[in-house]
Chains A and B, each alone.
Chain A
Amino acid sequence: MNAPILKNGFFVFLFSIYCSVVLAESNASDEIAKYREMISDGNPAEFDEMRGEDLWKKPSGPNKVSMQKCDLGKGIGIVKGAYAELPKYFPDTDRVQDLESRLVFCMTTLQGIPEKEIIAKPFGGDNYKPDIESYVAYVVGQSKGVKMNVSLTHPKEKEAYEIGKRIFTYRAGPYDFACSTCHGQDNIRIRMQNLPNFNNLKDSQAAYISWPAYRVSQGLFRSFQWRLNDCFRQQRFPEPQYASELTIDLAIFMARNANNAIYAGPGLKR
């Protein structure tokens, strides 16, 4: 008569462990959400936005021109709402461009800064804040509260989106990873980091509107180009060229999938 009771007790024991693990997980993500709420008013990205705005208005480079002459897709000098429509096709360069490639274009053609110089160290580090990242912070901040509206009307935009979609599932590197390996299913995570599923509308929207962001663990503002670069690093892929066509195609795929979400950047991340 002891065996059934023992078995019952064993399963109750297993079930309670399962419950505590599941509860621990949901408590952890609740706690993380609480933490995010607590620090949301103290986003150091605001300082990067301020720095970006000051630099934007300053005549710089060998040509001593200010970035206010830059066209981000809504006309020269219009920054408000521009990020919510990027990436898009630009007639003057005859290609689809994201924010960073457009900034590089303006910094080189308008201000006369050599492209090599901009691309050599495009990401922030110890005591180093590249101007381009501050421009990114400023420009994306000017789209806060704006509805994502990436259009696919131009044939090159449609093509870029399709290529981006293919890249997303393209397996490569020593681990045979694709973006979709980590970002292609619902409700999975790496350690305590939840992974958005980019085949799922809500996840795509929530993820895209929270980047670029200030990364607390790194003490730096990180742009979208940085995020793609870091994903490639995590997949053990070769480093992508800064603001290359590959990164723009991926970006338009992800941005378009986030359409109609209200852009909330710059964000604040762990």
Chain B
Amino acid sequence: MGNPMRIRASVQEGMTEVKVLMQHEMETGLRKDADGKLVPAWHITELKAVHNGKTVLEGQFGTAVSKNPYLVFRFKGGVSGEKISVNWVDNKGDTRSDEVEIS
């Protein structure tokens, strides 16, 4: 299980705005450490946000996304009190899933 995410979701003018802060090193596999050795690639590859059983966001992250990714997105619908869950998978097969109530 990966590190916890910080998710905030609120309704604004008929759209639900979701802000997700993920904790992940997001190593590209191209960086070298202090000894000159290549730091192996370690980054989130897939991201999914689900609301009421429906996928509202699906993403494929690559090496262009930087450390501790912060993502803000909006989707139509969503009512205060309903749950949003966000989950990711990384290239090592690790996953993380967090859920939050829309405020």
User: Which residues of chain A have a CB within 8 Å of any CB of chain B?
Assistant: 38-39, 41-44, 46-47, 50, 126-127, 216, 219
Contact = CB atoms under 8 A, between A and B. Distances in A.
B51 interface: no
A41 B23 contact: no
Contact of A126 (B33, B66, B68, B70): B33
B34 interface: yes
Contacts of A44: 21, 23, 68, 70
B42 to A, nearest CB: 10
A43 B72 CA distance: 13
A219 B68 CA distance: 8
B67 A219 contact: yes
A44 B39 CA distance: 22
Given A39-B70, A41-B8, A219-B67, A46 B34 contact: no
A268 B3 CA distance: 20
A37 to B, nearest CB: 12
A192 B31 CA distance: 26
B19 interface: yes
Interface residues of B, number: 16
A46 B23 CA distance: 10
Contacts of B19: 41-42
A44 B25 CA distance: 12
B6 interface: yes
Pairs A-B, 3 closest by C-beta atoms = A42-B70, A219-B67, A44-B68
A268 to B, nearest CB: 10
Majority secondary structure of chain B interface residues (helix, strand, loop or mixed): loop
A9 B96 CA distance: 64
Interface in B67-84: 67-68, 70, 72
Contacts of B66: 216, 219
B34 A126 contact: yes
Interface in B1-25: 3-4, 6, 8, 19, 21, 23, 25
Contacts of A41: 8, 19, 21, 70, 72
A58 to B, nearest CB: 17
Most buried by A among B3, B8, B21, B39: B21
B6 A46 contact: yes
Interface in B27-70: 33-34, 39, 66-68, 70
B78 to A, nearest CB: 18
A13 to B, nearest CB: 41
A38 B39 CA distance: 31
Nearest to B68: A44
Contacts of A46: 6, 21
Contacts of A219: 25, 66-68
A47 B34 contact: no
B6 to A, nearest CB: 6
A148 B62 CA distance: 43
A47 B33 contact: no
Nearest to B39: A126
